[in-house]
Amino acid sequence: MLTLVAFVLALGLLVTAHEFGHYGAAMLCGVRVLRFSIGFGRPLLRWQSRGSPTEFLLCVFPLGGYVKMLDERDGAVALEERPQAFNFQPLRARLAIVLAGPVANLLLAVLLYAVVNWSGVELPVAILARPETGSIAAHSGLTGGEKVLRAGFDRSEMQEVQSYEDVLWWLTRSALERQDLRLQVTEADGGVRHEVVLPLSNVHVDEVESALFQQVGLSGPFIRPVIGNILVGGAADRAGLRNGDVVRQVGAVTVFDGRQLRQLIRASSDGTEGSQALWKIDRSGVELDIQVKPERHQERDLWIGKIGAYVGAAPEMVVVIYGPLDGLWRAMTRASDISWLTLRTMGKMLVGDASLKNLSGPLTIADYAGKSASLGWTQYCLFLALISVSLGVLNLLPLPLLDGGHLMYYLWEWITGKPVSDASMERLQRGGFAVLSVMMSIAIFNDINRLFG
């Protein structure tokens, strides 16, 4: 139920912002708006203020909306009403009305990011877990426990890192923009600052997902290798482990953090039974040796080990909060960066340099809406901001049926001095519908694979 409510609220807000951009610009340009609809299909609510020419609708299917303006292409327009018709407006007015929808989504994203920046959000501290053996981070000299202070592509333009989320953001930008990433870090013991370069300029990334961070070797923040929530009768309980035990060693392997310990436990099953190993435990300052034999469990086509306990403590957190101007500037920068990365990713997909798996549809959006809402209002706001940027950028693509398609028509009109003919526009509209249908089919296919594959 939470997923459904969060999804409907998200769509309602984003569509309303987009259509209100068109509506507001039309009103400022003196164009008569006949209908403002959120959703399609049978109207659930319908109202019209006395003396207002605009009818407002809330319809049963919230996957979109529209603003219907007085336009001679939709029917006859009286001579005295032509100054209020959309198709009789000068080119600059039509351009502004069409552009206002995507701009409204981008402005909404800036506002949402700014609200989160001003109110503060609790995020993991930028302390690195031990990188995967053989990964880019490991080869670059990172060993785990380092705290990231600054990051950037150029030494003279390095920016302060506030949380581990900033680290992931820099990794994503670096991989997509094919640039080496510089990190200024301190050692685990708080020693001297030094610089590490992650050579990501030659990394081929066709899909921005967890596999990217695994390839780099930085899959998450540092978490202590602590045992908790032990199940009665489970492998951990039978071995004598207790809540709060800190694992220092498993067999001959020194344990550094919680993620490493989870991997060791998962890899302890050979498909027949779990492998018993001697664990060195720190229990309230006392060192103990305990024999632990994980149980084998099947996970899809793999056999993995489990001990019947939660492995790893929660990461150290920090509240990140910014002042009015700094918070607004960072919000504008984040919206701009995400817009640019979205365009680059779409361009890479167009030329085959990025996987079509990056396309997401309504099922994935609904899933993320529910998950983000369950984490609190700040995470939900961040989700809304991201989707709002994506919606704004998507509508600027030069595809017929989208706002960008109309902007393409107006560019032709500006260059040639005459509008696109009705016959050409009809053919382009059919082609645009076909392209969008293919994109939506791929997105829904990706959704099904992600959620049920």
Within 13 A of 94's CA, how many CA atoms are on the CB side? 21
How is residue 255 written in tokens? 């344990």
Q: Are 41 and 62 in contact (CB under 8 A)?
A: no
Cα 70 to Cα 3, 76, 87, 95, 317: the distances in Å are 38, 10, 8, 16, 54
Reported as type and span, the H/E element at residue 397 is: none
Q: What are phi and psi of 48, to 5 degrees?
A: -150, 120
Count CB atoms within 10 A of the CB of residue 342.
19
Cα 47 to Cα 41, 354, 380: the distances in Å are 16, 46, 30
Given the residues 19, 132, 146, 295, the one annotated as active site: 19
Q: Are 96 and 14 in contact (CB under 8 A)?
A: no
Query: What is the Cα–Cα distance from 330 to 241, expressed in whole angstroms?
Result: 46
80 is a catalytic site residue: no
How is residue 248 written in tokens? 């220092």
Query: What is the Cα–Cα distance from 323 to 75, expressed in whole angstroms?
Result: 52
Query: What is the Cα–Cα distance from 228 to 446, expressed in whole angstroms?
Result: 36
CB neighbour list of residue 28: distance below 8 Å, 6 or more residues apart: none
Count CB atoms within 10 A of the CB of residue 177.
15
Q: Are 70 and 84 in contact (CB under 8 A)?
A: yes
Strands across the sheet containing 246-250 = 253-254, 246-250, 277-283, 286-292
How is residue 333 written in tokens? 């920068």
Positions marked active-site: 19
